[in-house]
Structure 1
Amino acid sequence: MNQTRRKRRPDPSLSRLDSLSPEMLFPAKSPSLTSSRIRYIFLLLTFCFIIYIIFSYGTTFRREQISSIARSLSVFSTRRRHLLFSIAASHDSWLRRSSYVRLWYSPESTRAVVFLDRGGLESDLTLPPVIVSKDVSRFPYNFPGGLRSAIRVARVVKETVDLGDKDVRWFVFGDDDTVFFVDNLVTVLSKYDHRKWYYVGSNSEFYDQNVRYSFDMAFGGGGFAISASLAKVLAKVLDSCLMRYSHMYGSDSRIFSCVAELGVTLTHEPGFHQIDVRGNIFGLLCAHPLSPLVSLHHLDAVDPFFPKRNRTESVAHLIGAASFDSARILQQSVCYDSLNTVTVSVVWGYAVQVYEGNKLLPDLLTLQKTFSTWRRGSGVQSNYMFSTREYPRDPCGRPLVFFLDSVGSDGTEGTWSNYNLHRVGNCHRAEAVERLERVRVLSRKLKHDVEQMVAPRRQCCDISSPYNKSMVINIRQCMPDELIAMNT
């Protein structure tokens, strides 16, 4: 019931409040009130006034503000569970290559599915679940001598999104001979807002491959990631793109073309590796960029990474090292022993190279051409997307090479790794290193924050002297004005 309110007459005493002193408004128990107590009471009243103002706004406004803040914070908390891996394979290739996937896939923490051309395989709980791709016979394919399976593999993007898995921020695509370093991929993708349209990957190491296809295409074997917001739109229009691009060779060309039609360009991340080279990729691994290692492809076309191990064992050995310090794997540090005139290049988790003499840093950052071209033939030129230096044919002209033997942790944030000498030939060495057999590397676990990801800096290292059969190296952050060079 409404009641008529009687207007109150203004209290004459209230008009005089401004003229009253604090002592008159708040009479103290003691004869005098200290200034500190006055400030305290003033701050208390101010706080109460602010609380009143905040709660006087509508609940809708507050809910929208809180939701906006939560969405912003969520961008920086991407975890393994937010990634869904989609592996393209065939029935026959999966029998040969599933051992690679087993090395990086974890049923407890990794979300992944495998698409095959046909079924008939027994289930294996140590591997991702298998899905048989849908029929793609209605789509044309006109590339001379190519494989129609490129259409099926391209359409995996749509079929993966259509699965409707919840809480997926990034859809990641690769082949059954692609090995992912999942934690590093999570770190890389955390730089980007999954609510925006991103197509993340890298191109080929072989210049001619990029000329043939595109410098702005993410090569599918090396893997690429598509943000969930873009993937959902791409899935809706992909079939129409498959109709238009029947003349193309591969699946990755079709995805690239459709993404381009949506107005999105490639975001390059050098940690994705197509590995469009053959043979010994020692030189490629020893000059990895500062970006975290994300993927390795074409493992069947390259030699085992480590001596006396097969391909699967070599990859497992590398992944085992990454389990102790994923961000540091293949990161190169260079240090100098001025007393003995020795230069050391440490590629953490893989190999240590000990050079006699003073070697300039830029020379050691250049890839040694230990590998051969992807395309074979007498007319094929060795044109790469990076600078190379010749690898000495004479083993005695090469540095001493120590390959990873073991890795461990001190129980906190420190790690140690041991590297054993790989003897090649009967070479005469300088007295300082002629008896050297082992190298031990000490380091702190490398953690990438936002600043380091945007503006990375190579770390420094120190050589403990003297050394005879065993050398100890400590990796650390460089001082602000420190140069990675020998003191002269």
Structure 2
Amino acid sequence: MKSAIKTKSLTKLIPFSSSFCAISLFIFISILFFTTSKIVTINIGSSLLQPTESDPTNVNHLVFGIASSGKSWPNRKKYAKLWWNKNMKGCVFVDNLPPEENDNNLNSDDSVPQICVSEDTSKFNYTYRPGGLRSAIRVARVVKETAELNHSDVRWYVFGDDDTIFFPENLVKTLSKYDHRLWYYVGAYSENYEGSQTFGFGMAFGGGGFALSASLANVLAKVFDSCIERYSHLYGSDARVFSCIAELGVGLTYEPGFHQVDLRGNVFGLLAAHPLSPLLSLHHPDITDAIFPNMTNSKSLQHLFEAAYVDSQRMLQQTVCYDRRFSRTISVSWGYAVQVFQSNVLLPDVLRVQETFKPWKEKHVMAGIYTFSKRELHHDPCKRPKIFYLDNVSSGKDGIISNYTKSFYNCSNDKTSSKNLEVIKVVTNNLDLDSKQLQTPRRQCCDVLDSNSGQLMEIAIRECKYEELIYMH
């Protein structure tokens, strides 16, 4: 009987003990998991968090490092004046002070970056031959020396040449997509296929400009000199920067708004078919033609910035609409030009870059091969689109109004519906790029408004409807 009672008691006791142990173990594991999760979140997870909406990236979080020389800066600083303002941070690095600079007026002009004299690089080897310049070492070290300026509250370092023209507001918007606490190398390769193939599609070309997150730049600065010694055989500065970043295990984050402009002549086609992303930079203004007719290069760029000052984020954004009444195709490259095709043209064809320019190396075996989709310029001027260039832009209660006037049209037998057209008026609202539009951009739509005037065309740009298609009717 006692044995039976004991067995019965144990039978009741064992399930109770197992349940108690299971519950205790569950509580212990939960506490351990919760504690561990908190530790991971604090030590690791915090680096994955995007900056809060209350603390957005702005131009004060950027530091610019511009590569120049004492010889070129006096002629090139006119380009910096287009985009620089006195509240920005950064330096233009020269090998020696320009003749016009002295202790009394050094850095007295706040319309351009302050001047910094580069450190001596004579100890570094440069073995590239033939035709190379050892100044590439000094220019490469601009990355290191800019980071060592020790500016406070830096999120991004932006680098370029003294003939690189930046659009700072667009840089801020674009870079805000990325977490500056992580390692980012942001830029673009050349439009020239041969150049990109030679130096690598993973390299950001320095003339087009590139950006490094502060976290990456600070680490790169510490190891850069040791890295330079291994790459004495390379040609340029951007190849050295790329190689050192590659050794840190970081790849290029491609942003098509950076433009190296390794092209010659008339770059209208490139600008008029800009990618669906903010315009970040332009390069080589001394080599390419003036982007507006009957203007010098400097005046052309000043004219372009008249639109950029009003709505920088919309600059060169291509919008296409179809005029049912006259079966015309209209391509608006905001702030620059409007093209009127005298027929219905399929949208993918309109979006291709029109080959108005010449190759970087005309006699090269790969001349005329580019890193973008192109269409040839029609040999018959009468079958080319009519071009209307920006005349003026203003902002008011009715929105932003930009007017475009007809350029010279080399066609003596014009019998089209647009032969009397002189002005195109484009109405928009200020483009505010939210995070959704930056991450997954969508082209906007436009409407040709009714008009009784044969000399004026009015176009309204708007957001496309949810299922709306841009197509010829």
Instruction: Tell me how far apart the structure 2 counterparts of residues 70 and 360 of structure 1 sit (CA, whole Å).
Output: 42
Question: Is 1:215 matched with 2:193?
Answer: no
Query: Is 1:363–2:349 an aligned residue pair?
Result: yes
Partner of 2:297: 311
What is the CA-CA distance between 1:432 and the residue it aligns to? Answer: 2.2
- The residue that corresponds to 1:12 in the other structure is none
Superposition pairs of residues 210-289 of structure 1, within 5 angstroms: 210-289=196-275
**In the TM superposition, what whole-angstrom CA distance separates every residue of 1:310-329 from its partner, at most 9, and x where no partner exists?**
11111111112011111111
Question: What is the CA distance between 1:94 and its match in structure 2?
Answer: 0.7
Please tell me whether the aligned partners of residues 428 and 434 of structure 1 are also in contact (alpha carbons under 8 angstroms): no
Aligned to 1:459, which of 444, 453, 469?
A: 444
Find 2:459's aligned residue among 473, 483, 486: 473
Which stretch shows the higher mean deviation, 123-132 or 226-235? 123-132
Corresponding residue number in structure 1 for 2:407? 422
Matches of 1:299 and 1:440 in 2, distance apart?
Answer: 28
| 1:65-76 correspondence to structure 2 within 5 Å | 72-74=50-52
Q: Quick check: 1:274–1:296 contact (8 Å CA) kept in 2?
A: yes
Q: How is 1:422-441 mapped onto 2 (pairs within 5 angstroms)?
A: 422-441=407-426
TM-superposed CA distance for 1:429, in Å, is 3.0
Distance in 2, matches of 1:285 and 1:475, equals 19
> Match for residue 59 of structure 2?
80
Q: Is the counterpart of residue 117 in structure 1 residue 95 in structure 2? A: yes
Cα shift at 1:475: 0.4
Q: Rate the CA distance shift 1:430–1:141 in 2: closer, same or farther, 3 A.
A: same
Q: 1:283 to 1:161 in 2, by over 3 A?
A: same
Instruction: Give the corresponding residue for 2:382.
Output: 396
1:96 is the counterpart of 2:91: no
Residues paired across the two proteins, number: 423
Contact 1:417 1:440 in 2 (8 A): yes
| 1:4 matched residue in structure 2 | none
The equivalent of 1:374 in structure 2 is 360
CA RMSD of aligned residues (A): 2.0
Corresponding residue for residue 125 of structure 2: 140
- Contact 1:273 1:295 survives alignment (8 Å): yes
TM-score normalized by the length of structure 2: 0.86
**In structure 2, distance between residues paired with 1:442 and 1:345:** 14
In the TM superposition, residue 426 of structure 1 has moved relative to its aligned partner by: 4.0
> What are the residue-to-residue correspondences of 1:163-182 with 2, within 5 Å?
163-182=149-168
Deviation of the 1:434 alpha carbon: 1.5
SS of the equivalent of 1:323 reads helix
* Superposition pairs of residues 175-190 of structure 1, within 5 angstroms: 175-190=161-176
CA distance in 2 between counterparts of 1:104 and 1:223 reads: 14
Q: Which runs of 5+ in 2 are unaligned?
A: 1-37
Match of 2:141, SS state, is helix
Contact 2:424 2:457 in 1 (8 A): yes
Q: What is the CA–CA distance in structure 1 between the aligned matches of 2:85 and 2:68, rounded to whole Å? A: 18
SS of residue matched to 1:407: strand
Q: Give yes or no for contact 2:90–2:146 (8 Å, CA) kept in 1.
A: no
Deviation, structure 1 residue 447:
1.0
Cα deviation per residue 1:305-362 (whole Å; 9 max; x = unaligned)?
Answer: 0011111111111112011111111001111111211111111000001111111111
Q: Which residue of 2 aligns with 1:50?
A: none
Cα separation, 2, equivalents of 1:399 and 1:228: 45
Change (3 A) 1:431 1:366: closer
Quick check: 1:440–1:473 contact (8 Å CA) kept in 2?
Answer: yes
Q: How does 1:7-86 map to 2 (within 5 A)?
A: 72-74=50-52, 77-86=56-65
Match of 1:21 in 2: none
Note closer, same or farther for the CA distance 1:439–1:214 as it changes in structure 2 (3 Å cut): same
What secondary structure does 2:92 align onto? strand
- Are the counterparts in 2 of residues 356 and 430 from structure 1 also a CA contact under 8 Å? no
SS of the residue 1:325 aligns to? helix
Q: TM-score, normalised by structure 1?
A: 0.84
Superposed displacement of residue 72, structure 1: 4.4
Show structure 1 runs of 5+ residues with no match: 1-59
Aligned to 1:327: 313
Helix, strand or coil at the partner of 2:425? strand
Q: Is contact 1:181–1:319 with CA below 8 Å preserved after alignment? A: no
Aligned-partner residue type, residue 91 of structure 1: G
CA distance in 1, matches of 2:397, 2:120: 52
Match of 1:24 in 2: none
- Choose 1 or 2 for highest CA Rg: 1
Q: Is the CA contact 2:194–2:366 (under 8 Å) kept in the aligned structure 1? A: no
